């Protein structure tokens, strides 16, 4: 296997609800999108956890993963990710142990620390009053308790890992609890993040680290450097493993790619400015009063023809030393999303055959 072949491509999806569509349609489209990724040889297909957002139907990763696994053949399915502060670690362990028993070797448990929603929604999801800190009042030392348990994330992550058989501390949860009665395998745990905090924690625990570059928040180079600096070999990983996600839309030519990317760019601009607009048809998006601002905003997303898409991915791999890249493709229609995956898969494999891809091993050495 050549260095280029060792760099897999994967897919991240949010089951986005386009303007005029329903949640049922969005989930049906995600199913067909996953089937296309499976057919085209992509490594993984991950779904996110978001709550109370009009344009996102992916609210329960475990439920959606079970459905997708039953409708695909070999692609790995996972969470990108489960927002652990929203849940009991024991319940998540049981859900993913069951998924692994149903589909051995095909399940990933990607875990994140963010709420995946606004504070009020997070309160509803976690069954906590939105003014929990005020209700509980300050602690004896004057500190206000953390109502969202973000400060407890490392211990909850360790509990989750222990329930799945990866015990790292003697002060963890009761070891007579088992996520499933007679496991023959357990899903790998991967830590997701968009900051140095998650990068350092992933390194300290010796877990694979996936950076959410598609958030457009910057900081990918610093985060992956921190991850490598803090990395300690573990029972699950001998060396660092870096995944980087990126927004990407490709089409037969650059103009068509920009046309189909217009809805997601406008929606991204709306989110940046505190307005959650629907995913419009490209014609409506480009006729929107704020389209020009959206079209000229700085973004990490890759939009262009297949050669441009491959060149951009190669550059990202070289800069980050990533071992795997994950594309998030958001368009108004499903056919355009599938076409984007098809064109990218063909161009990526062709670049390997031509010997024109980045030498990933050298890129990783240079970025380390």
Predicted confidence (pLDDT) at residue 130 exceeds the cutoff of 60: no
pLDDT (average), residues 147-164: 83
Task: Look up the pTM and report it.
Answer: 0.89
- For 198, half-sphere exposure in the C-beta direction (CA atoms, 13 angstrom radius) is 22
Distances in whole angstroms, Cα of residue 15 to Cα of each of 45, 108, 124 = 12, 18, 22
Q: Domains of the chain, with CATH numbers?
A: 9-129+146-253+302-367 (3.20.20.30)
**How far apart are the C-alpha atoms of 223 and 227, rounded to whole Å?**
6
CA 151 distance to own-chain centroid: 22
Per the model's pLDDT, the better-predicted residue between 146 and 108 turns out to be: 108
Task: Render pLDDT for 178-221 as a digit per residue (tens, 0 to 9).
Answer: 899 999 999 999 999 999 999 999 999 999 999 999 988 889 99
Tell me if 113 sits within 8 A of 79, measured CB to CB: no
3-state secondary structure of 55: coil
Is 1 exposed, middle or buried, given 0-12, 13-18 or 19+ CB atoms closer than 10 A? exposed
The CA R_g of the chain, rounded to the nearest whole Å, is: 21
What is the pLDDT, as a whole number, of residue 317?
Answer: 97
What is the pLDDT, as a whole number, of residue 174?
Answer: 61
Helix 306-320 and helix 360-367, axial crossing angle in degrees, nearest 10: 40
pLDDT-above-90 percentage for the chain = 75
Predicted confidence (pLDDT) at residue 364 exceeds the cutoff of 70: no
Task: Render pLDDT for 315-363 as a digit per residue (tens, 0 to 9).
Answer: 999 999 999 999 999 999 999 999 999 999 999 998 777 765 544 433 3
CA 114 distance to own-chain centroid: 12
Tell me if 308 sits within 8 A of 250, measured CB to CB: yes
What is the pLDDT, as a whole number, of residue 300?
Answer: 93
What is the pLDDT, as a whole number, of residue 6?
Answer: 60
What is the pLDDT, as a whole number, of residue 200?
Answer: 97
Tell me if 260 sits within 8 A of 251, measured CB to CB: yes
Angle at CA of residue 127, ends 121 and 131, nearest 5°: 70
**How far apart are the C-alpha atoms of 156 and 197, rounded to whole Å?**
15
Lowest mean pLDDT among 24-33, 101-110, 359-368: 359-368
Per the model's pLDDT, the better-predicted residue between 280 and 6 turns out to be: 280
Predicted confidence (pLDDT) at residue 38 exceeds the cutoff of 50: yes
**How far apart are the C-alpha atoms of 126 and 218, rounded to whole Å?**
29
Beta bridge partners of 76: 44
Predicted confidence (pLDDT) at residue 53 exceeds the cutoff of 60: yes
Predicted confidence (pLDDT) at residue 367 exceeds the cutoff of 50: no
Task: Render pLDDT for 18-34 as a digit per residue (tens, 0 to 9).
Answer: 999 999 999 999 999 99
- Reading phi first (left if > 0) and then psi (alpha if -120 to 50, else beta), residue 264 is in alpha
Predicted confidence (pLDDT) at residue 117 exceeds the cutoff of 80: no
Predicted confidence (pLDDT) at residue 312 exceeds the cutoff of 80: yes
| Per-chain mean pLDDT for the chain | 88
């Amino acid at each position: 296997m050549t260095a280029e072949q060792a760099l897999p491509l994967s897919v991240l999806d949010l089951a986005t609800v386009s303007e005029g569509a329903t949640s049922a349609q969005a989930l049906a489209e995600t199913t067909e999108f996953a089937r296309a990724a499976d057919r085209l040889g992509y490594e993984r297909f991950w779904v996110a956890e978001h709550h109370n957002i009009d344009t996102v139907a992916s609210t329960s990763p475990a439920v959606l993963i079970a459905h997708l696994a039953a409708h695909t053949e070999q692609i790995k399915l996972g969470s990108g990710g489960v927002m652990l502060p929203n849940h009991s670690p024991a319940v998540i362990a049981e859900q993913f142990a069951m998924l692994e028993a149903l589909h051995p070797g095909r399940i990933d448990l990607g875990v994140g620390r963010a709420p995946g929603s606004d504070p009020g929604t997070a309160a509803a999801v976690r069954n906590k009053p939105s003014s929990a800190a005020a209700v509980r009042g300050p602690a004896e030392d004057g500190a206000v308790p953390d109502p969202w348990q973000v400060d407890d994330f490392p211990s909850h992550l360790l509990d989750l890992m222990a329930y799945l058989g990866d015990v790292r501390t003697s002060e963890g949860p009761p070891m007579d609890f088992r996520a499933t009665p007679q496991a023959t395998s357990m899903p790998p745990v991967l830590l997701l993040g968009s900051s140095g905090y998650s990068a350092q924690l992933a390194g300290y625990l010796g877990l694979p680290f996936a950076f959410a570059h598609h958030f457009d928040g910057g900081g990918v180079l610093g985060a992956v450097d921190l991850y490598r600096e803090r990395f300690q070999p573990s029972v699950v990983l001998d060396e660092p493993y870096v995944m980087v996600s990126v927004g990407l839309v490709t089409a037969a030519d650059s103009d068509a790619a920009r046309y189909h990317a217009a809805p997601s760019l406008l929606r991204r601009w709306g989110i940046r400015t505190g307005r959650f607009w629907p995913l419009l048809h490209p014609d409506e998006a480009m006729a929107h009063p704020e389209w020009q601002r959206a079209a000229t905003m700085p973004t990490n997303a890759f939009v262009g023809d297949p050669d441009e898409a491959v060149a951009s991915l190669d550059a990202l791999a070289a800069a980050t030393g990533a071992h795997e890249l994950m594309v998030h493709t958001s368009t108004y229609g499903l056919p355009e999303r599938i076409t984007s995956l098809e064109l990218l898969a063909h161009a990526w494999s062709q670049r390997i055959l031509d010997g024109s891809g980045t030498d990933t091993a050298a890129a990783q050495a240079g970025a380390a």
